[in-house]
């Protein structure tokens, strides 16, 4: 048997991390078993489905590197096929037309609530002959008696009595098919062998298995993975922060960091935290996924992202960073080589957005000093070291990191100070804050003329401060 899995999102909003984890698990299972991964767009909700959401799904899948072998297939292009199956079920007496009014159905629901029983359709039209040319829905004739039993690859054996299932609608009054019908037809036609999806679909599975049995087919294996919770224990949503894949990209996360984090939400391999995609494929097993829900931890995701930033090729990081620098109105071509900037900042940023923000000073002068840094380091006592450094820098040739390091060391020795007492005022003068890469690398990348200009400004600032205090 060739393993075939699928990811079947509905294009009614953004591609969220819960959906991505489901896609990842399906993709890994297919890759591990040498099978095929199918992308299907379940766009039968004509009012809420949008082209923008479809594009976001495709864009997100591409960014993550979850390449699909077949698709994308669109359900809206398969309506004739669904109609064919529904007509076959009607012809075999396995489905029937129902013209029950909204008022009657609401009455059934209200009575069930009064009786504290599960609301369900009472089969009123099962034995009636509703004309095809009058407004009606089509209902699946669910088996009476017995149970639906299936062995879920994550949840274990699940048994649901048919008495708990009513005759669900498979075609609406407007002629459009419903989810439980379309997903069954698609899974069978696309020869899906394993359905990996969220555990919010568990209640649908017995209904779908009954429809499959009515069609004389064998159902796929099912694996229902638990939902992802926010840190407050509620289901993960927008109020917990970014949950859209595109948002995480815009916030400066690397796709491999997000995938690594998501694979560990509900699955583990010993105490190991870091997995390459190849290692995920080799080690992942859907049967090792936990039954319990997992809690999303943004700090852990950022820790992983920082790890991948540090380990990645500086050229690739520079390519990704260039776009973010542009959003800050910085032209990376007008300044130091962005690859050199990345090498200097690689261990200092948790996201690419943070790296971009702390790297702007390399390319343009800043407007204001960080107040705390200026208060601590740009004091009158720093005037002599800044003046001497300014003179030393003005005559320095060549402008190399090694020569700059030696210049700072020489001034510190001349003044009888440790290097920090010279380097920190100089850093605040050139960077605007008290944190940056090593002072030698910082000065080298900022460049001679910009350094002299900024040190002159700092000297004026310190003198003005001394006059105010004097």
- Residues with catalytic annotation? 238
Q: Which helix (H) or strand (E) holds 427?
A: helix 419-431
Residue with tokens 């939902």: 227
| Calpha distance 427→232 (Å, rounded) | 41
CA dist 242 and 363 (Å) reads 30
Q: Which residues pair with 294 in a beta bridge?
A: 228
Yes or no: say if 220 and 193 are a contact pair by the CB < 8 Å rule: yes
Q: In whole angstroms, how far apart are CA 225 and each of 23, 70, 236, 289, 418?
A: 11, 23, 15, 7, 58
Residue 352 CA to residue 253 CA, distance in Å, equals 7
- Count of alpha carbons within 13 angstroms of residue 303, beta-carbon side: 7
CA-closest candidate to residue 229, choices 300, 289, 297:
297
Contact between 226 and 291 under an 8 Å Cβ cutoff? The reply is yes
Spatial distance between the Cα atoms of 20 and 66, rounded to a whole number of angstroms: 9
End-to-end CA, the chain: 87
**CA quadruple 438, 443, 446, 447: dihedral sign:** negative
Question: With the C-alpha atoms ordered 190, 193, 199, 201, is the resulting torsion angle positive or negative?
Answer: positive
């Amino acid at each position: 048997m060739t393993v075939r899995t699928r990811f079947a999102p509905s294009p009614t909003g953004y591609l969220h991390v819960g959906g991505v984890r489901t896609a990842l698990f399906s993709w890994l299972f297919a890759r591990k078993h040498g099978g095929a991964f199918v992308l299907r767009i379940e766009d039968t909700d004509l009012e809420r489905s949008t082209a923008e959401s479809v594009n976001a799904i495709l864009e997100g899948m591409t960014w993550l590197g979850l390449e699909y072998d077949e698709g994308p297939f669109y359900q809206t292009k398969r309506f004739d096929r669904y109609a064919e199956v529904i007509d076959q079920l009607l012809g075999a007496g396995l489905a029937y037309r129902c013209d029950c009014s909204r008022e009657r159905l609401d009455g059934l629901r209200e009575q069930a609530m009064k009786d504290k029983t599960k609301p369900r359709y009472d089969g009123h039209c099962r034995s009636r002959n509703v004309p095809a040319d009058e407004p009606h829905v089509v209902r699946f004739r669910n088996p009476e008696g017995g149970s639906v039993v299936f062995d879920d690859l994550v949840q274990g054996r699940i048994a649901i009595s048919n008495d708990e299932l009513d005759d669900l609608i498979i075609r609406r009054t407007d002629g459009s098919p419903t989810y439980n019908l379309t997903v069954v037809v698609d899974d069978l036609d696309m020869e899906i062998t394993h359905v990996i999806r969220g555990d919010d679909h568990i209640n649908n599975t017995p209904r779908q298995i009954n429809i499959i049995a009515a069609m004389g087919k064998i159902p796929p294996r099912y694996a229902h993975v638990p939902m992802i919770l926010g840190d407050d224990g509620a289901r993960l949503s927008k109020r917990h922060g970014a949950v859209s894949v595109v948002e995480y990209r815009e916030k400066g996360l690397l796709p491999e960091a997000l995938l690594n984090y998501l694979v560990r939400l509900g699955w583990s391999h010993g105490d190991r935290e870091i997995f390459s995609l190849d290692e995920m494929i080799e080690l992942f097993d859907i049967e090792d996924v936990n039954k319990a829900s997992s809690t999303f931890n943004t700090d852990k995701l950022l820790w992983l992202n920082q790890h991948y930033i540090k380990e990645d090729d500086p050229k690739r990081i520079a390519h990704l960073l260039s776009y973010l620098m542009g959003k800050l109105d910085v032209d990376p071509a007008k300044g130091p080589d962005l690859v050199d900037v990345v090498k200097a900042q690689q261990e200092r940023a948790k996201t690419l957005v943070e790296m971009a923000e702390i790297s702007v000073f390399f390319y343009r002068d800043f407007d204001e000093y960080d107040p705390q840094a200026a208060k601590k380091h740009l004091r009158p006592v720093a005037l002599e070291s800044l003046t001497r450094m300014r003179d030393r820098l003005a005559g320095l040739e060549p402008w190399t990191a090694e020569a700059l390091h030696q210049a700072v060391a020489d001034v510190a020795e001349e003044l009888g100070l440790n290097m920090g007492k010279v380097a920190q005022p100089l850093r605040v003068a050139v960077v605007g804050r008290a944190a940056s890469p090593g002072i030698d690398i910082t000065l080298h990348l900022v460049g001679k003329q910009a350094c002299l200009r900024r040190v002159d400004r700092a000297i004026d600032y310190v003198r003005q401060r001394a006059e105010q205090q004097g």
